[in-house]
Amino acid sequence: MNCSRREFIDGLIKLGIGVPIVSGLSPALNALLEAGLPAAALAEAGQSIRKRNFPIDSFPEAQYYKKLPDGRVQCNLCPNLHIYKESEVSFCRTRQVYKGKLITLAYNNPCTINLDPIEKGPFNHIRPGTNVLALASGGCNLRCLYCQNWDISQSQPNKLNTFDLPKEESKKALEEKECKAIMWTYTEPTVYPEYIKEIAGYTTAQGVRNLICTAGFVNPEPLKDLCKTAEGFAVALKAFDEDAYIKIGQQSLKPVLKSLETIKAAGKWLEVVNLIVPTYNDDMGTIKEMCGWLKKNLGSETPLHFGRFVPEYKLKTLPPTPLKTIEQARQTALDEGLKFVYTFNVAPHEGNNTYCPKCGKPIIKRLAFKILENNIKNGTCGYCGEKIAGIWA
Ligand code: SF4
Q: Angle at Cα 312 formed by Cα 25 and Cα 285, nearest 5°?
A: 90
Question: Is residue 131 located within the same domain as residue 171?
Answer: yes
> Is 302 touching ligand 1 by the criterion CB < 6 Å?
no
Looking at the structure, tell me whether residues 138 and 183 fall in a common domain.
yes
Q: Is residue 231 part of a domain?
A: yes
CA angle centred on 153, ends 203 and 167, rounded to 5°:
20
Is residue 95 in contact with ligand 1, taking CB distance under 6 Å?
A: yes
151 close to 93: Cβ distance less than 8 angstroms? no
Kindly state whether residues 92 and 197 are assigned to the same domain: no
CA of 262 to the centre of ligand 1 (A): 19
Q: Based on the domain organization, do 139 and 257 belong to the same domain?
A: yes
| 140-197 pLDDT tens trace | 999 999 999 999 999 999 999 999 999 999 988 899 888 999 999 999 999 999 999 9
Co-location of 266 and 206 in the same domain: yes
Residues 165, 91: one domain?
no
Torsion angle of alpha carbons 133, 135, 141, 147, nearest 10°?
Answer: 80
220: domain CATH number? Answer: 3.20.20.70
Number of other residues whose CB lies within 10 A of the CB of residue 198: 18
Q: Average of pLDDT values for 90-111?
A: 98
250 in a structural domain: yes
- Provide the 10 A C-beta neighbour count for residue 147: 21
**Per the domain annotation, does 166 fall within a domain?**
yes
265 and 317, same structural domain? yes
Q: Are residues 190 and 72 in the same domain?
A: no
Measured from the Cα of 84, ligand 1's closest atom is: 3
pTM, two decimals, is 0.89
Q: Is 54 exposed, middle or buried (0-12, 13-18, 19+ CB in 10 A)?
A: middle
The answer to whether the CB of 105 is under 6 A from ligand 1 is no
Our count of domains for the chain comes to 2
Residue 325 lies in a domain: yes
Is there a single domain that holds both residue 178 and residue 276? yes
Is residue 189 a part of any domain in this protein? yes
Q: What does the pLDDT look like over 255-288, one tens digit per residue?
A: 999 999 999 999 999 999 999 999 999 999 999 9
Cα-to-centroid distance, 392 and ligand 1 (Å):
36
Query: Each residue of 351-362: pLDDT tens digit?
Result: 999 999 999 999
Centroid of ligand 1 to alpha carbon of 92 (angstroms): 6
Give me the mean pLDDT over the 325-350 stretch.
Answer: 97
pLDDT in tens, 15-65: 333 333 333 344 444 444 444 443 334 334 445 788 888 999 999 999 999
What is the span of the domain harbouring residue 336? 24-51+109-352
Last residue of a domain, one of 316, 331, 352: 352
Q: Is 280 a domain residue?
A: yes
Closest C-alpha among 47, 36, 244 to residue 120? 36
